Amino acid sequence: MEGKTIMNEKELKPFYNVGPGDFILDFLDSLGWTQSDLAEVTGFSVKTINLLINNKQGITPETAITLEKAFGSPADFWIEVDAKYQIRKKEEQNSEKNELTAKKAMLRKYMPVSEMKKKGWFLYDIDTIKGIEQECIRIFNQPSIPESEYSQEYKFCARQTNFDYDYTLWYSKTWFEYAKLHAASFELPEYNRDKLENIANNLYEYTLKTDGVNELINDLNACGVGFFCLSHLQKTYLDGAAFISGNNPFVVYTCRYDRIDNFWFVVAHEIAHILHHYEFLKEAFLDNLEHQAETDREKEADSYAGIYLNQDKVLEIGQVYGKYLNAARLTQISEQTKVSIPVALGMLQHFGMLDWRQFAKYKVHAKDSIPGELIKG
């Protein structure tokens, strides 16, 4: 093409992929032609001219020869421009695909994506770049996972296993980020420690009430303590958590073991953290209570949880009955300690006084007692 300089495609690529249609427009502009004029000159339809100008129709040898006759530019020029345009277009498509692959891989490194999809935790389509970025903004306030935070030794104020250690840390941090997101939606009064302490000291009595779980949750909210259930994620082994959101402490139950005795102990344990380890709640206590407590704070929380649930009294009477424990004596233990039969039974089984298979009829699902609106997935 005489008098027409083709810019280096490497200079153009970051900004705009120039195709043959752009050159056709330049020629029309310099000649003062319309698309209809070009259609009349070439014998192409106006629709074909429009497709060529918008780079939506490729340049065939026949088209290239026709454009050569119309504009005076060599046919091989049009073939070359179109070929480079198509290559750059494919590169851009692959670039987007590669970016999506990298983002999806990153997401799966730090999150059990398939499980979270099934639970409905994602609000956006994480099979797209835009969706992944939107989800990250929702959770992390930035369009990508903050890898630097995940690569740091995350501060667990809790006992945990050594199995799948990295995943335990990463997935637990992800779980915690979603827990914080749910906590931020609560509106609660100012935290009142004295009221919470009163609840704790009478916690065992809640276990006997017909609607004890709901009454406890309402009383916790009234003293500025939030509560909700957020299911655990694979490899996190979490039973519960205590942390601060805004100016309010929160207790979160994972329902990993969907038993009412487990619910009461986990809640008692997290309340103990709030009452006695408040200054550490900014770091959060993410608790796996299945294994023996190792840190002083965890041992202390276990001890207070036992006190709040009248555990020593239950075990004392259970030891007296020994192997002669039966349904009638379980009822007596409950009456004497003011602890519900399912909770007392769970204590006796936990400490090896009864087999876990015994008295199955007294087992109660915790989730059945938690208001549906507080079960967050």
User: pLDDT tens digits, residue range 180-198?
Assistant: 999 999 999 999 999 999 9
Could you give the count of Cα atoms lying within 13 Å of 325 in the half-sphere of its Cβ? 24
Kindly report the backbone phi and psi dihedral angles of residue 25, in degrees, each rounded to the nearest multiple of 5, phi listed first.
-60, -40
Amino acid letter, 308: Y
Q: What is the pLDDT of residues 228-252, one digit of tens each?
A: 999 999 988 899 999 999 999 999 9
For residue 323, what pLDDT is reported? 77
Q: Does domain 9-103 have CATH number 3.40.1390.30?
A: no
Q: At what angle do helices 311-321 and 327-337 cross, to 10 degrees?
A: 150
pTM to 2 decimals? 0.74
Contact in structure between 308 and 200 (CB atoms under 8 Å): yes
Q: What is the pLDDT of residues 287-306, one digit of tens each?
A: 988 777 778 999 999 999 99
In this model, does residue 5 exceed pLDDT 50? no
Question: How many Å apart are CA 247 and CA 222, to the nearest integer?
Answer: 14
Q: How far apart are the first and last CA of the chain?
A: 64
For residue 160, what pLDDT is reported? 53
Closest CA to 103 of 91, 111, 114: 111
Closest CA to 225 of 262, 259, 267, 255: 267
Domain boundaries, the chain: 9-103, 111-150, 154-374
Q: Mean pLDDT over all residues of the chain? A: 90
Bridge-based pairing state of the strands 285-287 and 248-253: unpaired
Q: Please name the helix (run of DSSP H) or strand (run of DSSP E) that holds residue 356, with its range, or none.
A: none
Question: How many Å apart are CA 39 and CA 56, to the nearest integer?
Answer: 16
Sign of CA dihedral 182, 187, 193, 198: negative
Q: How many angstroms separate the Cα of 288 from the Cα of each of 63, 220, 310?
A: 71, 22, 22
